[in-house]
């Protein structure tokens, strides 16, 4: 593999956003994901290769470490931030069609709930897996989800809730989405959830961590 792509993958995994980023201390003063992605494009590396050979494997390793409790939310957020810095350089190629995305993933925290860290982590991990993300934000109702699905036929939907009180809203939203768009695959996640709840409300998949969502989406398009 191109040495530059290896270095870019390592920067993302370590959470090195750019040269000025103080984190992680052992990479102080070195180029980060921002500079390395830009350099790779300048040197003629195909945007798709940057995605599939550097960013996707790096975020996969990050997800693996997170699910094994080898790293925690702060490190994961830094890796996601570094991945986002690299993706900024690739987005024009996604929009022009030079890079084929695996699909569209619509995500939002359900109505009544303003928590977004979990949602943001999932969105970043899924984007790192090669999907186009439509982030509807927090406190999202069923009408907003359904409109986004109508605007993006074939999209997969992710619902997040962090409170036991807003889990009930998730059930209502899943029902309304399935009523209008019965073929839509719906993923659910959040601290108070489990797979029994997922089954009860009629959603298609539950994962306790972002990596599970990425793996499920991989299987959907395999």
Distance CA 189, CA 159 (A): 6
Same domain membership, residue 222 and residue 158: yes
Same domain membership, residue 66 and residue 166: no
Give the model's pLDDT for residue 1. 57
Show the domain range for 213: 101-222
Last residue of a domain, one of 53, 75, 100: 100
Judged by phi (left if over 0) then psi (alpha if -120 to 50, else beta), residue 29 lies in left
Please check the confidence at residue 173 and state whether its pLDDT lies above 90. yes
Pairwise pLDDT comparison (123 vs 129), residue with the higher score: 123
93 near 45, Cβ under 8 Å? no
Percent of the chain with pLDDT over 70: 100
List, as one string, the DSSP characters of 158-214.
Answer: EEE--SHHHHHHHHHHHHHHHHH-TT--EEEE-TT--HHHHHHHT-SEE-SSHHHHH
The CATH number for 15's domain is 1.10.1240.10
pLDDT in tens, 51-62: 889 998 998 899
Last residue of a domain, one of 67, 82, 100: 100
pLDDT in tens, 42-83: 999 999 899 889 998 998 899 889 889 999 889 988 998 999
Please state the rounded mean pLDDT for residues 194-198: 97
Same domain membership, residue 205 and residue 149: yes
Give the model's pLDDT for residue 209. 85
């Amino acid at each position: 593999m191109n040495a530059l792509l290896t270095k870019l993958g390592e920067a993302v995994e370590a959470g090195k956003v750019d040269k000025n980023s103080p984190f992680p201390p052992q990479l102080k003063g070195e180029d980060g994901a921002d500079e390395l992605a830009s350099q790779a494009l300048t040197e003629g590396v195909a945007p798709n290769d940057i995605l599939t050979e550097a960013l996707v494997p790096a975020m996969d390793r990050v997800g693996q470490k997170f699910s094994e409790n080898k790293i925690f939310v702060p490190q994961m957020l830094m890796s996601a931030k570094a991945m986002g810095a690299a993706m900024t350089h690739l987005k024009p190629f996604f929009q022009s069609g030079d890079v084929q995305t695996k699909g569209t993933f619509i995500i939002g925290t359900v109505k009544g709930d303003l928590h977004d860290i979990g949602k943001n982590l999932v969105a970043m991990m899924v984007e790192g897996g090669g999907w186009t993300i439509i982030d509807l934000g927090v406190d999202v109702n069923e009408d907003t989800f359904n409109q986004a699905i109508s605007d993006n036929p074939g999209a997969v939907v992710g619902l997040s809730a962090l409170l036991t009180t807003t889990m009930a809203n998730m059930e209502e939203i899943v029902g309304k989405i399935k009523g209008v768009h019965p073929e839509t695959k719906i993923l659910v996640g959040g601290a108070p959830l489990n797979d029994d709840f997922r089954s009860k409300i009629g959603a298609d998949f539950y994962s306790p961590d972002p990596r599970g969502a990425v793996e499920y989406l991989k299987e959907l398009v395999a």
